[in-house]
């Protein structure tokens, strides 16, 4: 008996849908791309419950005839290619003829469409691939596709969808990608009756700013290169604005957002030494290549593509980015890796030698901003580090009112003896364990059983996290009212998110009010905030918070506290003196959970003497 059977269309479509449509965001992407292919210049996206209940894309494009309206839901129905050869000249977004068939197989879909030249339009209702009704209707020219109850008939997939905020994040991401690459078109996005984006036509730079917020205008520099393999245009972010989270990395090839780890590496490589540790470069690069030299058909969602000559592309991109960095002389002042010990003071001719002083400050409090008189030289104060540098002032209760102690001076005459005295003269107060900082990252100390290695940043994160959580519970939040309230601005997507967690942000020790239009007014800050740049820190906090949404258990407040802690914590590269290390360790062990960061990273490592002795065998 023959056992091979052809799958019914409905099943085939559902299987295909699994590849093309994974979540509401993928449906939004496909529908927006169809609208663009239809020549629309004004595209509206409406969502309810992050698209889980309803999503709708309306355009003013070419519309469809009644016959096309019916056909468009068939699998492999496309107006965009006719023969295999056309695959090598694709300039449209879609071409596989799968999206509408897939969407119609897993949702309840209402299509309304009319060509400008037709008197009446067509309305079709289709549900799980079955056409429920088809009639003439009055409607605007263009096309509107409404998708209700996505995955209503595939419970496994519906259950697989994440929390609303997460799904909304995915939709916004797709929306942004499409909007970024089509700055000449108008877009708007609405969620649960609220407008999230309204983007007017403009140039590429204006679009980026409209999407990500005003503060991007000063962060970006332009890239422009033309070769016979590829034309590159776009922007890169100045290194000092590099973020510590992934996100602002955009490659577009022939007007399509793509992911390409190999080419990403070319950009990272060009930035090379200019970025602080763990920071990611920002870039928006638009590549234009001959359609013959790119294969966009290797993956159903078409975000992974293959270029014919990736090696050359790599080299061209790297050199384009390098050139831009050089041209805007973004390089010289960026000495991230200068070791503190290399920071010798310069001596001018005629200057008399000052008596070297040994500064020992018995009252030294590492959590006070004035760092015992050790001020790094200007060159060391990198703008990217500024703000993160003033980590000290986090614990005002710890003696904020104590007078600034004058350094103890000893009358040593020769620098050498200074060195000796600071080495030999173990200060009397440090009778306890000794601490060493290595690699400006780790604090080492000796235990009975082995060597304890503490990750300085993670330790500090834990300390600030617990402090912040306590503050959230406290009646008196220690808010410091600002004499001159500051306005901060977010992109509309971020503004929406920020607004939705504003109460929790305030519980963290801020006094902030939403004044609309993506702007917020900051009236008060936590007393331990120091003179950090509000806009930058809050942006980074929001960025980490978004990450925490996906990667961290707990509620909004703990996620926020963790995000805040991450931004305020000392970073690798920060020199700590013995007193600072001691306080850090003491505060760490006063924490409820001293061994893990809020998001579960290990803070402490103990290398036992036993293990150590084994390494000598």
The contact set with Mg ion (CB under 5 A) reads 34, 94, 99
Query: Which residue in 45, 50, 72, 501 binds ligand ADP (CB under 6 A)?
Result: 72
Angle, helices 456-473 vs 578-589, to 10°: value is 50
Instruction: Select the binding partner of residue 578 from ligand ADP, Mg ion, none (C-beta < 5 to 8 A, by kind).
Output: none
Alpha helices, DSSP H, located in 246-388: 261-271, 310-327
**35 sits near ligand ADP (criterion: CB under 6 A):** yes
Residue whose C-alpha is closest to residue 440's, from 455, 425, 429, 451: 455
Query: Which residue in 23, 24, 95, 234 binds ligand ADP (CB under 6 A)?
Result: 95
Query: Which residue in 48, 70, 80, 359 binds ligand ADP (CB under 6 A)?
Result: 80
Query: Which residue in 79, 357, 445, 577 binds ligand ADP (CB under 6 A)?
Result: 79
Contact range with ligand ADP by CB under 6 A, out of 96-104, 263-271, 547-555, 609-617: 96-104
Comparing CB distances to ligand ADP, the nearer of 72 and 497 is: 72
Contact range with ligand ADP by CB under 6 A, out of 35-43, 362-370, 530-538, 586-594: 35-43
DSSP letters spanning 51-95:
GTSEEEEEE-S----HHHHHHTTSTT--SS-SSGGGGGG--SS--
DSSP state of 119: S
Question: Looking up tokens 């001691």, which residue turns up?
Answer: 582
Comparing CB distances to Mg ion, the nearer of 143 and 225 is: 143
Query: Which residue in 43, 50, 51, 94 binds ligand ADP (CB under 6 A)?
Result: 94
Q: Nearest distance from residue 584's CB to ligand ADP, in Å?
A: 57
Site string for ligand ADP, 14-33 (x = CB under 6 A): ----------------x---
Query: Which residue in 62, 236, 289, 479 binds ligand ADP (CB under 6 A)?
Result: 62
Instruction: Select the binding partner of residue 35 from ligand ADP, Mg ion, none (C-beta < 5 to 8 A, by kind).
Output: ligand ADP
**59 sits near ligand ADP (criterion: CB under 6 A):** yes
Which residues fall within 8 angstroms of residue 40, CB to CB, at 6 or more apart? 59, 60, 61, 142, 185
| Buried-state track 429-438, b at ≥16 Cβ within 10 A, e below 16 | eeeeeebebe
Contact range with ligand ADP by CB under 6 A, out of 98-106, 267-275, 382-390, 518-526: 98-106
Please measure the distance between the N-terminal and C-terminal CA atoms of the chain and give it in whole angstroms. 69
Cβ-based neighbour number of residue 600 at 10 Å: 9
Q: Nearest distance from residue 81's CB to Mg ion, in Å?
A: 11
Comparing CB distances to ligand ADP, the nearer of 96 and 244 is: 96
For the chain, give the number of residues.
617
| Buried-state track 91-117, b at ≥16 Cβ within 10 A, e below 16 | ebbbbbbbbbbbbbbbbbbbbbbbbee
Q: Nearest distance from residue 142's CB to ligand ADP, in Å?
A: 7
Comparing CB distances to ligand ADP, the nearer of 143 and 468 is: 143
Question: Looking up tokens 């790297």, which residue turns up?
Answer: 318
3-state secondary structure of 122: strand
For the chain, how big is the Rg over CA atoms in Å? 29
- Sign for the CA dihedral angle at 280, 281, 286, 292 comes to negative
Comparing CB distances to ligand ADP, the nearer of 72 and 126 is: 72
Q: Nearest distance from residue 297's CB to Mg ion, in Å?
A: 13
Question: Looking up tokens 């993928």, which residue turns up?
Answer: 26
**122 sits near ligand ADP (criterion: CB under 6 A):** no
Residues at the contact surface with ligand ADP, assessed by CB under 6 A: 30, 34-35, 37-38, 59, 61-64, 72, 77-80, 94-101, 143
């Amino acid at each position: 008996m023959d056992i091979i059977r052809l799958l019914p269309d409905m099943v085939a479509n559902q299987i295909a849908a699994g590849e093309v449509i994974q979540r509401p965001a993928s449906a939004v992407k496909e529908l927006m791309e169809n609208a663009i292919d239809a020549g629309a210049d004004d595209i509206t996206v409406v969502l309810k419950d992050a698209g889980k209940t309803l999503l709708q894309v309306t355009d003013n494009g070419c519309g469809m005839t009644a016959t096309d309206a019916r056909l468009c839901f068939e699998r492999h129905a496309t107006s965009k290619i006719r023969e295999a050869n056309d695959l090598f000249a694709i300039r449209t977004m879609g071409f596989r003829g799968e999206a509408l068939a897939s969407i119609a197989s897993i949702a309840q879909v209402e299509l309304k469409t009319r060509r400008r030249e037709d008197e009446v339009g067509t309305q079709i209702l289709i549900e799980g691939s079955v056409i429920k009704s088809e009639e003439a209707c009055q409607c605007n020219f263009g096309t509107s596709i409404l998708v209700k109850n996505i995955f209503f008939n595939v419970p496994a997939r519906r259950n697989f969808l994440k929390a609303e905020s997460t799904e909304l994040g995915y939709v916004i991401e797709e929306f942004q990608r499409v909007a970024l690459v089509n700055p000449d078109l108008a877009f708007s996005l609405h969620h649960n009756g609220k407008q999230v984006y309204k983007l007017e036509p403009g140039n590429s730079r204006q679009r980026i700013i409209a999407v990500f917020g005003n503060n991007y205008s000063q962060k970006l520099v332009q890239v422009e290169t033309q070769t016979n393999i590829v034309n590159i245009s776009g922007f890169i972010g100045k290194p000092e604005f590099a973020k510590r989270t992934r996100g602002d990395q955009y490659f577009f090839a022939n007007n399509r957002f793509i992911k390409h780890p190999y080419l990403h590496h070319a950009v990272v490589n060009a930035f090379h030494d200019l970025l602080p540790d763990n920071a990611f470069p920002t870039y928006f690069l638009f590549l234009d290549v001959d359609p013959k030299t790119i294969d966009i058909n290797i993956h159903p969602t078409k975000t992974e593509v293959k270029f014919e000559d990736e090696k050359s592309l790599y080299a061209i991109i790297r050199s384009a980015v390098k050139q831009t960095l050089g041209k805007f002389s973004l390089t010289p002042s960026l000495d991230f890796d200068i070791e503190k010990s290399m920071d010798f003071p310069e001596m001018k001719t005629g200057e008399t030698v000052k008596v070297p002083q040994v500064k020992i400050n018995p009252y030294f409090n590492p959590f006070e901003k004035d760092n015992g008189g050790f001020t790094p030289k200007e060159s060391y104060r990198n703008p990217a580090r500024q703000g993160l540098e003033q980590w000290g002032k986090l614990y005002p209760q710890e003696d904020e009112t104590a007078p600034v102690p004058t350094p103890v001076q000893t009358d040593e005459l020769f620098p050498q003896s200074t060195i000796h005295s600071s080495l030999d003269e173990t200060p009397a107060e440090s009778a306890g364990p000794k601490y060493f900082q290595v690699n400006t990252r780790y604090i080492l100390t000796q235990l009975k059983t082995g060597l304890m290695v503490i990750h300085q940043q993670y330790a500090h994160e834990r300390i600030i996290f617990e402090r912040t959580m306590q503050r959230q519970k406290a009646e008196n939040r220690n808010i410091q009212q600002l004499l001159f309230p500051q306005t901060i601005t977010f992109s509309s997507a971020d503004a929406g998110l920020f607004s939705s967690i504003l109460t929790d942000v305030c519980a963290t020790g801020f006094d902030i009010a939403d004044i609309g239009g993506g702007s917020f007014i900051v009236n008060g800050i936590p007393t331990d905030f120091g003179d950090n740049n509000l806009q930058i820190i809050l942006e980074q906090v929001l960025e980490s918070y978004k990450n925490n949404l996906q990667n961290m258990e707990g509620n909004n407040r703990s996620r926020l506290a963790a995000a805040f802690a991450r931004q305020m914590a000392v970073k690798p590269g920060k020199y700590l003196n013995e007193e600072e290390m001691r306080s850090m360790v003491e505060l760490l062990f006063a924490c409820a959970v001293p061994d893990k960061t809020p998001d579960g990273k290990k803070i402490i490592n103990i290398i036992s003497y036993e293990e150590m002795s084994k390494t000598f065998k």
